[in-house]
A and B are shown apart, each in its own frame.
Chain A
Amino acid sequence: MLLELRSVEKSYTDSDGRVPVLRGVSFDLMAGQTLALTGESGSGKSTVLHIAAGLEFPDAGSVRVLGQDLAQMGEGARAVVRRSDIALVFQQFNLIPSLSVAANISFQAALSGRVDPGYIDDLVDALGLGDQLRKYPESLSGGQQQRVAIARALAAKPKLMLADEPTGNLDEGTAARVLDEMLKLVAQTDAGLMLVTHSPSVAARMDRELHLSGGLLT
């Protein structure tokens, strides 16, 4: 099992006191599967993703990635899992502004010590980034930046890819193309993908869709 959430509960504290966000969320994700997580703004979609990535911790319940309980691991071990097995793509600000596109793409792969130049070339070609490699992120359009982020995520050959509204900042046409490319590449690697989105059309492209409402899956 790639990802396994069991009865995950999470609440935040704000000026009104404790606000429950997740009230017992359980689901599984298998290798090669794609999963859409949808819900209203503030429904806790991103929180689920952060918990799955080990960036946040549930108040109750458990999270297992590749059979390992993230909560039981130390900060260092979690960092290892994050750079070796998981890849993250956010809505924006994914890239390191002071590194070139090429350096950004190979960055995570280099961190986990698994640079495969041939594969990276393939990714660059597949995502149409060949002309951008020497540029810096600031001179790319939003769609190009997200393509770089996806290339970086895939270049590390992750087992689990987590994406938070990866196309949320893009216009419809660009979004559709970027999503196509991402799904094609994920399918080729047999990785699992969990994608947070509020767009029904994006969700429809996934194998499965889970809808969060009132802190519960419906």
Chain B
Amino acid sequence: MNVKLAAILALMPFAATAQGFSGLGTEADEAFAVPAPNPSFSFPADHGAHPDYRIEWWYLTANLSGPDGTPYGLQWTLFRTALAPGEAEGWASPQIWFAHAAVTTAEAHFATERFARGGIGQAGVEVAPFRVWIDEWALEGPDFDTLTLRAGGPEFAYDMALSAQGPLVFHGDKGFSVKSSEGQASYYYSQPFYEIEGTLTLPSGDIPVTGAAWLDREWSSQPLSERQSGWDWFSLSFESGAKMMGFQLRQTDEADFSAATWIAPDGTTTALPDGALVATPLKVSEVGGRAVPTTWHVRLPERGLDVTVKALNPNAWMDLSIPYWEGPVTIEGSHKGRGYLEMTGYE
């Protein structure tokens, strides 16, 4: 893809470059809908697209193990971004879709991307039966709990089956997730309870894998403040069966803004306020020409959590049109387990 287009997409909240945020924070486009507190979701419709919002994603990460216990990470994300709110027929649609697929091993990291214009059917979402797709990549099934996932690039491919073992989980205040002290927010829910199994096709050959997957759904129009330069996002699954989603938004001025959701094994959630989660870098790696923290000290004192989160492969740099770091992590300390880490805005 060309540079200019990358720049457009970089303006999107997800692509957490400092410039991107500042551009977005000040330029509140009145035409787009803005998330409001106390949302009431309606399913399956809300699994589908919300074209009146600027940005939206279906974001799947999975921690996998091969037959010999070798750990793998898998990512599949479909992004929707709108040049203008609403939908139109054919090429005139203002909706743009793009998707990232990646597989991470301890030694290697494969990532690839796709682009599509909305309106012509090259990519999109249908809710019943559920199907999100771009080109030959698809996450689909009879409903949101029972899905198959297929994607691949020049060097890898995967073919997975997922089945949900627990309920949907809503972050923040019933799915209204605040992203800054100034009130920027998004709608945000997850299905963190998927069991996943399937086949990874890597240059070394096919590998049968099993593991756990976590699907995030989020949409908004301006989730970040202009003073925020990037984010660090954790999805951690502990051996106890509990899970935690936490993020901190790095700010250029005052203290960082953080938020977390503690998810009990039965899916009961506790939203934790700004400051409850404390994540500090322990080790910085040189990745893709940037200094990126790949080992973190993560604490959530309210839950007695005090762990070291370490990247399976520090080199999990997504060298795509919008570059960022995303990869599987291992958890050591007060709790043990596996998870995923995403970091944006590291220049």
A and B touch in the complex (CB under 8 A): no
